[in-house]
Homo-oligomer: A and B are copies of this chain.
């Protein structure tokens, strides 16, 4: 039976990435997260002493390899979330809606909710789409 560590090793090698302690830690943090994390949030969850610059470079190479995707936010902070299993460097399949809770500030990837299509004026050619909802999440609803 493969352990969690085995899965990390396999995921990295499947995407053509080297096995290093930092990469394993970053991947672990993102895989364990229930919602999208910002650079500094990821940093806080890494082993003490992990280099900030290395983290950003790791995130960049993960993104280019299709391991994680950016989640846009209504603020100026970029967040990251682990991609679904079928993503690769060639094709990102993050065609799902994101939901930001205005109370707990968490951003959820609603993998089960696809982004609806829109009809654009002629000659606008669409490559990718982001749909961000804001509101109150399940956990933060006032008790009935």
What is A's interface to B at a CB cutoff of 8 Å? Answer: 70, 72-78, 97, 99, 102, 110, 112-113, 115-138, 141
Contacts and interface: CB of A to CB of B under 8 A. Distances in A.
A126 B134 contact: yes
Contact of A118 (B73, B113, B127, B129): B113
A118 B97 contact: yes
Contact of A78 (B75, B130, B141): B75
Nearest to A77: B76
Copies in the complex: 2
16 contacts: A72-B72, A72-B74, A76-B77, A99-B120, A110-B121, A113-B119, A113-B121, A124-B138, A125-B135, A127-B134, A127-B136, A129-B132, A129-B134, A130-B133, A131-B132, A132-B132
Given A76-B78, A77-B76, A133 B123 contact: no
B138 A121 contact: yes
Contact of A131 (B118, B121, B138): B118
A117 B113 CA distance: 11
A47 to B, nearest CB: 25
Contacts of A141: 123, 125
Contacts of A74: 70, 72, 128, 130
Contacts of A121: 110, 112-113, 138
